[in-house]
Amino acid sequence: MSVGRTGALRNRNFLLLWVGNGTSLMGIFGARICYPILALDISGSAVLAGWTTFAASVPNLLFLPHAGVFADYSDRRRTMLSFQLLGAAMSAVLTVWVVISGPSLPAVLVVVALIEGTAFAYFSLAEVAAIRDLVPKDQYLAAFSLYEAEKPVAILMGRVFGAGLLGVARWAPFAGNLASYAVSIGSVSAMRGDFSPVASESTSRRESFWSRTREGISWVHRSRFLETSTIATAAANVLFQITILLLIVRSHQEGRPAWVVGFVLSSAGVGGVIGAALAPRLTKAFAPGPVFVAGLWAWALALTPMALTSYPIVMAVCWFAVGAVGTVVSVVNTLNRIEAAPPEAVGRVVGLASLITDGAVPVGAALGGYVLATWGTQTIAWLLPIGLAVLALSGGAALRYTHAPSSAEMKSSSGVPVESLN
């Protein structure tokens, strides 16, 4: 482990937040993989399965701008606690509902997924902003690499255990999610320090939500790399959501047990761990643009074998590669978002960029069921890598012709050279 990573892990508050959120993410990802599987099992409808995934992810489309403002203008620790408590309450409701075989279970699944997704949106932006405050600038790369590393681990363990628990009892993965929330709430509660808002209210005038949001947009617009990578990542996320539903539908059509889907999708977590280990070296050795475009090409290559076979081992290897590349891309994107704005605007910059990238997830989830029902699994399996190849070509062209910064543009107000962002 590098010195930078060791230093970040010696920070008590960062360690508590990292461990607590990592545990919570395992429960969340375990529950989320079970939402569409359970919906498909109940109804046999790929469309309903897509809508349950849509409900869990659509808050990213609806609330991330406000969550970014909220992270800048509220106590970040209190925000994280409040929304983790809300997520825990929803997990408890769903667990009880499944145990008692309550009526309208598909509708309850959608409502719980929607509210829990909303809580997660607000928590995640407050967490990113808090990490920037918790560690010194020379540990940003280490801290955010660790932050991104916990996601693939959570995907790996959460999806395996979630799908496995679903095979034991329908209520089990949601009870597990509730337990993971309890760990996170305890960890965040144990954090000490000043988590008061970085951005302060003016005594002469109180800015509106839209004024604050426009200020965040202006920071996003200053970086060509941030604009291009945000749009391309959003398009890729649409394609990946369709891919996940494709894997679920194929497995269901071929009569495979739920744990097979969990095994395939959890392989992204293994790849993500590898990607997290490589990300600091790649980020230091290459500019963000080439790393990002290479990631798009790697994704296109990774999905190509899925068009040729539905054999679980092959699909797991492909999804492993998707996860490895995805973590590297996430580290590059997160660092550039963090460095693109001053501390008082970081929540809004991250929120607005995430609105586009994460907001694309529910779009892909909603479209997935319809495109699969319309064109079939085989046609879609070929269109997915083709779509990513088109993104790689267009993203590379956009970044290749980025103008060289003038002397007046060489530094942003955060002190980060503009050329490092572009």
Residues 332-352 pLDDT 10s: 888 777 776 666 667 777 777
Span 143-190, pLDDT tens digits = 877 887 787 778 778 877 888 888 888 899 999 999 999 999 999 999
Helices then strands, each counted (H, E), the chain? 14, 0
pLDDT of 343 reads 67
Distance CA 361, CA 366 (A): 9
What does the block give as tokens for 215? 């200020």
Measured distance CA(321)–CA(268) in Å, rounded = 7
Q: What is the mean pLDDT of the chain?
A: 80
Q: Can you tell me the mean pLDDT for 46-71?
A: 80
Within 74-171, residue ranges assigned H as helices are 76-99, 105-134, 140-168
Reply yes or no on whether the pLDDT at 392 is more than 90: yes
**pLDDT tier, 418 (very low <50, low <70, confident <90, very high otherwise):** very low
Single-letter residue type at 6: T
Q: Does the structure show a pLDDT above 70 at 419?
A: no
Which of residues 59 and 359 earns the better pLDDT score? 59
The CATH class of 7-197+208-401+411-421 is mainly alpha
- The structure tokens listed for 49 are 């399965």
Separation of alpha carbons 340 and 372, rounded Å: 39
**CB-based contact 61:355 (threshold 8 Å):** yes
Provide the residue ranges of all domains of the chain, joining segments of one domain with +. Answer: 7-197+208-401+411-421
